[in-house]
Amino acid sequence: MNSIQVISLTLLSVLAANAQIIMPGRCPKVAVQENFDVAKYLGTWFSIQRLPHAFQRSQCSTATYSLKSPGVIGVLNRGLLADGTVTSTSGSATAKNPSEPAKLMVTFSENSPAAPYWVLSTDYDSYALVYSCTEVGVLHEDHAWIMSRGNTLSEDTLEELHSTLASIGVKVDKLLTTNQDAEYCSAMSQ
């Protein structure tokens, strides 16, 4: 076994222990939202489903996007932990290439690397499908979020978005449903 394989296997073991979705090979080439309109995308989105990952373990999750300055989007992620604690993290997003505004790079602290945040599809009013992929040696780590402007999303829309994710190799059977029950999430508004 060569050193690349050993490193990849070690990384796979660590990431798998953190319930990340790790796949062999490079990140897939994906199509993003054509003519993406950042202004229409701003506002609050509710997490409906997501792939598991170590950095989001909350329910009642929301992401609020605002314009910080020209070309810079403010990001505020909030959620409710199992012990009732409201958690939040803020950062910023920018398009690496202005000709591809739906391919954003998000940073949450000065010391953290920017992560891809690609809007694959949105109608701006009800749903958004976001994908992120990071290459780790000969493997890649998938992240995906299905979001809504409200705390629910129709089954037809979910099926359509699942189909889009499956077409790029995302394991839709691994998607977790976020609890967005109004009564349960009422602690978020206090």
Quote the CA–CA distance of 88 and 86 in Å, as a whole number: 7
Quote the CA–CA distance of 142 and 155 in Å, as a whole number: 23
Whole-number pLDDT of residue 20: 65
Residue 32 has pLDDT above 90, yes or no: yes
Whole-number pLDDT of residue 12: 40
Whole-number pLDDT of residue 124: 98
Q: What percent of the chain has pLDDT over 70?
A: 86
- Cβ neighbors of 42 (< 8 A, separation 6 or more) are 65, 66, 67, 73
> Which residues span the domain enclosing 109?
3-189
Residue 5 has pLDDT above 60, yes or no: no
Quote the CA–CA distance of 46 and 39 in Å, as a whole number: 18
Q: What is the pTM of this model?
A: 0.85
- Cβ neighbors of 152 (< 8 A, separation 6 or more) are 48, 180
- Domains identified in the chain, total number: 1
5's tokens: 């394989």
Among residues 171, 143, 174, the alpha carbon closest in space to that of 53 is found at: 143
pLDDT in tens, 99-150: 999 999 999 887 778 889 999 999 999 999 999 988 888 888 889 999 999 9
Residue 70 has pLDDT above 50, yes or no: yes
Quote the CA–CA distance of 95 and 112 in Å, as a whole number: 17
Whole-number pLDDT of residue 172: 93
Averaged pLDDT score across all residues of the chain? 86
- Cβ neighbors of 151 (< 8 A, separation 6 or more) are 46, 180, 181, 182, 185
Whole-number pLDDT of residue 13: 41
CATH number of the domain that 124 lies in?
2.40.128.20
Whole-number pLDDT of residue 15: 40
41's tokens: 């995308």
